[in-house]
Structure 1
């Protein structure tokens, strides 16, 4: 299997896929998901899931990003349905990490989509001032630069669209995907999964699963590091190999959790 670019998406399709996963990454690693999330996505493809990973560049207008992603994904689906999928029906699952969760939630709220479920890993819905440390500095510079204009308000502030509060309201009122797996890592200080879980459980009782796993916000990236020991096995080599084992133990547990949720009748 090789990655292929198709209408702005990176696509990995195994022989005779059983389902489709639409993947969206985190804000600063989403421009090349076929590289930054390669290990996780290729494991899913090996297990029979076609992967469509849609890159995006983060801006303040998250609604516009969601619209572009939805358009690019649909174009890829149309092309694949006529070729690789051969018009067979395959269930579609959304899977997002960090900001990718927010975008899947917006897509599932603002557009008519068919999803068998969504997998939401390390949900993040911070305000711009908390998510981007430079925002306050940028706002200050803009205030000084435009203070000569009479219609400029010195209280202007940059914020994501929709804002965190607006996003939660949209999800609570309009989100259309009943079945959801939410993953929260034990050592993730910027995760906001707990609040999202409460919103989704109110909207779809009995359909929302929360899994708490060991790991941190970067666990899904799981870079494949090839540690080459020197001529003599030094203490640093032992430490490096132990760290590598720990990283992949956490990633493997995430992979097993996702696969078990996708197909609960298969023993892993």
Structure 2
């Protein structure tokens, strides 16, 4: 049975025999209390054999800083997870290897995960000097090797690459904040440019929903359709993007179990659905397993940690 314990700044549920560790970051509002809002999804991931780390969502216009905080939390948590597993007489060796960790994001949480992937690429061209300085200051306490999620799969659920207009519905005010360099950074356009230039994102899966008016969908094309944009950009990588579109709206991953029903906190949607009619968790687990297999294939040809230090100046981008 999944039981969350507070550890560092996260909620942690350790599986007695874990085959991997899933780090979950949700979207704005619901992501602030992930162990409640995303309870059923996290339960099913745990029952599939994964330890689960639920990272509470934090709001800020400085998305680089928030993404780097997730990485800092991972580094801080790792020795604590090992110690806790030993205390519980669980297998602790799985927590020692960074490639046993995976990421799942929902909505804006996906953007933070994408930014971590971009940091692994070490080429952040196209940004102004202020953003570069902010990133350098945020990672100053990290070794070069640590500022990376290279080798860690990521699964994006209804990804939303938000910018200032997404956070502030008054367009004139959002534009003013952007003009004064006080809005969301990196912007949606900057994030897209960086992903286009990157050769990574080979361990990525994406699940979309056919009635999603925020992240978009395959069946609802629009000017700011992040789902279609990701599908277009990531289909030509070393490994094509894993993708499946399911029935539902943007908040489909949200829900708790009440008997045979999943309640999703959204009275404007269906509010509740039978577990038997809900395919999301099955697809999530299938994608996790497939991404883990890809990861094993890639790691076999990847450089070791010492080799990573030696070749970092050449910006090796083999995966």
Q: Indicate if the aligned counterparts of 1:115 and 1:177 stay in contact, CA closer than 8 A.
A: no
Q: Give the Cα–Cα distance (whole angstroms) in 2 for the partners of residues 135 and 3 of structure 1.
A: 40
Q: Deviations over 1:97-146 (max 9, x none)?
A: 00111110111111312444210010111321134325745777x8xxxx
Runs of 4+ in 1 over 6 A off after TM superposition: none
2:114 aligned residue: 105
Structure 1 pair 7/190, CA: closer, same or farther in 2 (3 Å)?
Answer: same
Q: Deviations over 1:154-203 (max 9, x none)?
A: 9537421100011112222346441211111011011121101222223x
Structure 1 pair 20/155, CA: closer, same or farther in 2 (3 Å)?
Answer: closer
1:232 aligned residue: none
2:164 aligned residue: 128
Give ranges in structure 1 of 5+ residues lacking alignment: 143-153, 228-241
Output aligned runs, 1:54-93, within 5 Å: 54-84=55-85, 85-88=91-94, 89=97, 91-93=100-102
Q: Give the Cα–Cα distance (whole angstroms) in 2 for the partners of residues 206 and 138 of structure 1.
A: 37
Q: Give the Å deviation of 1:223.
A: 3.2
Q: Give the Cα–Cα distance (whole angstroms) in 2 for the partners of residues 63 and 155 of structure 1.
A: 19
Q: Give the Cα–Cα distance (whole angstroms) in 1 for the partners of residues 200 and 7 of structure 2.
A: 27
Q: Give the Cα–Cα distance (whole angstroms) in 2 for the partners of residues 31 and 78 of structure 1.
A: 25
Output the TM-score relative to the length of structure 2: 0.67
Out of 288, 305, 309, which is 1:262 matched to?
288
Counting matched residue pairs gives 237
Give ranges in structure 2 of 5+ residues lacking alignment: 86-90, 120-146, 216-225, 261-269, 291-319
Q: Indicate if the aligned counterparts of 2:27 and 2:57 stay in contact, CA closer than 8 A.
A: no
Output the TM-score relative to the length of structure 1: 0.78
- Bigger Cα Rg: 1
Structure 1 pair 164/155, CA: closer, same or farther in 2 (3 Å)?
Answer: closer
Output aligned runs, 1:153-172, within 5 Å: 156=180, 158-172=182-196
Structure 1 pair 130/261, CA: closer, same or farther in 2 (3 Å)?
Answer: closer
Structure 1 pair 162/155, CA: closer, same or farther in 2 (3 Å)?
Answer: closer
Q: Give the Cα–Cα distance (whole angstroms) in 2 for the partners of residues 138 and 116 of structure 1.
A: 34
Q: Give the Cα–Cα distance (whole angstroms) in 2 for the partners of residues 221 and 183 of structure 1.
A: 14
Q: Indicate if the aligned counterparts of 1:116 and 1:177 stay in contact, CA closer than 8 A.
A: no
Q: Indicate if the aligned counterparts of 2:165 and 2:171 stay in contact, CA closer than 8 A.
A: yes
2:4 aligned residue: 3
1:214 aligned residue: 247
Q: Indicate if the aligned counterparts of 1:21 and 1:52 stay in contact, CA closer than 8 A.
A: yes
